[in-house]
Structure 1
Amino acid sequence: MRRPGPGRFVNLLMLLVLAAIIAGAAVYFFAFWDPTDVSEATLDRSGPAFVKLAIIGLVLAASMIFARPRLGEVLNAIILWGGLGLILVAGYSMRFELEDMAYRVMGSLMPGMAVEQGDGTVALARDRSGHYVVDASVNGASVRFLVDTGASMVTLSARDARAAGIDVANLHFGAVVSTANGRSQVAPVRISKLEIAGATLSNIRAFVARDGMLDTSLFGMNALDRFSSWRVEGGRMILVP
């Protein structure tokens, strides 16, 4: 029978030492670590981290002992995983810039798209011309709005009003408003439901413009004021329900 060489005894001894370290860390964590003690003079706050690091060290050491990788393989692995780690760190540190870039790209590729975010807010991307446009639903009909903080009221183009089921032919265009092209007459109406992504606005006062007066409907301040707040961050507008 062939006796095991001295190298195997060394490997076994090293593995036992590492296992003892793990066992000691586990006993320390479960028996002595006090999560309520935040004193900087003790190491109690590092208990869970110490256990995790000890486990990672055990796995790495065991792989080095039993697999015996070549030096070139070790260097390649260090370069590969180190590079991936640097990319992750760089991506995390630049997450806000990358997010802003993503919204700019989205605004160019999909202008008008409103995105409901995880916190319930609605994000609008800026289009190529620098304006905020949003695809919404008015009484079930799809309408693209130009967000206009200079407009006091939501104003529908005649085409969009017809699509939303409003009888434009029987409206009374008696209200006079001032626009960039001068004074114009519009008709006051009520919009039953206006939906943007996950936000729903009900019973909205609005104007309907005459045929040919507007190319794009306007999302005015009376609709923006229905949100608890709104703000502009980089390349996007955030609406807070």
Structure 2
Amino acid sequence: MSEIEIGRLGYLGLLLTALVLWMFVQHRGRLVQKLQHLTAWGLIFLAAIAAIGLWDDIRHTVSPQQSVFADQGRIELPRAPDGHYYLTLQINGSPIRFVVDTGASGMVLTRQDAERVGIALDDLAFHSSARTANGAVQTAPVRLANVALGPFEDRNLAAFVNGGEMDNSLLGMSYLQRFDRLEISGGKMVLERG
């Protein structure tokens, strides 16, 4: 902290102290009531700070999640606040969150997700490429031993690992076409498979 910032902080502290003292001197008869109000406002302030700090955890807890109706062969995905649909698949036993991308032809894993499912990045050959909204990227073809979504399980699926930076893995049509029906309606994506 610079000397100017320390001076400003000291001035604000002195001003706050003067205001609090003036309030107590002005309303001496109601000191207990003022302390109660001050305590209530302090607790409100602390609650607001805590809510802001925990917002990401709260949002993930109360936001709707994908629903699997195994007996009906149906998966329902709520639209996320960012307008996308997200789906979590179990790949080789690890949960991987994908953004559903009907404009993508294949399944594309981020480097981090590829490592989580047991793919050794050092063994990959990034010799193929894919065209994205951000331009061409290098990709490496891989095979996923086991991909599960609720009661649906597929083996030995072709996928790619993106050689560049990506926020989320993409779930494209090579996987989505395994479903008999894909419908988007009322803020939900419904996938059905017999």
Per the shorter chain, which TM-score range?
Answer: 0.5 to 0.7
Correspondence for 2:174 among 218, 222, 225: 222
State the partner residue of 1:85. none
Matches within 5 A, 1:95-114: 109-110=62-63, 113-114=65-66
| More helix per residue | 1
State the partner residue of 2:83. 130
TM-score (norm 2): 0.64
State the partner residue of 1:14. none
Say yes or no: does 1:193 pair with 2:146.
yes
State the partner residue of 1:162. 115
| Deviation for aligned residue 1:195 | 1.5
2:174 aligned partner, one-letter code: N
Correspondence for 1:180 among 122, 127, 133: 133
Aligned counterparts of 1:175 and 1:109: Cα–Cα separation in 2: 40
Q: Tell me the percent identity.
A: 37
1:171 aligned partner, one-letter code: L
Matches within 5 A, 1:71-86: none
Give aligned pairs, total: 134
Q: Output one character per residue of 1:182-216: Cα deviation in whole Å (capped at 9) or x when no partner.
A: 01110001111111223222221100012x52110
Aligned counterparts of 1:182 and 1:217: Cα–Cα separation in 2: 17
Q: Output one character per residue of 1:127-181: Cα deviation in whole Å (capped at 9) or x when no partner.
A: 0011100122111111110000111000000000000000111100000110111
Aligned counterparts of 1:149 and 1:196: Cα–Cα separation in 2: 18
Aligned counterparts of 1:221 and 1:213: Cα–Cα separation in 2: 21
User: Which 4+ stretches in 1 moved above 4 angstroms?
Assistant: none
SS at match of 1:213: coil
Question: Contact (CA 8 Å) 1:189, 1:208: kept in 2 or not?
Answer: yes
Question: Contact (CA 8 Å) 1:107, 1:127: kept in 2 or not?
Answer: no
Larger Cα Rg: Structure 1 or Structure 2? 1
Aligned counterparts of 1:160 and 1:195: Cα–Cα separation in 2: 15
TM-score (norm 1): 0.52
| Deviation for aligned residue 1:218 | 0.3
Measured on the aligned residues, the alpha-carbon RMSD in Å equals 1.9
Question: Contact (CA 8 Å) 1:107, 1:128: kept in 2 or not?
Answer: no
Correspondence for 1:149 among 96, 99, 102: 102
| Deviation for aligned residue 1:108 | 8.7
| More strand per residue | 2
Structure 2: stretches of 5+ with no match in the other structure: 1-58
SS at match of 2:113: helix
Q: Output one character per residue of 1:32-72: Cα deviation in whole Å (capped at 9) or x when no partner.
A: xxxxxxxxxxxxxxxxxxxxxxxxxxxxxxxxxxxxxxxxx
Aligned counterparts of 2:144 and 2:63: Cα–Cα separation in 1: 26
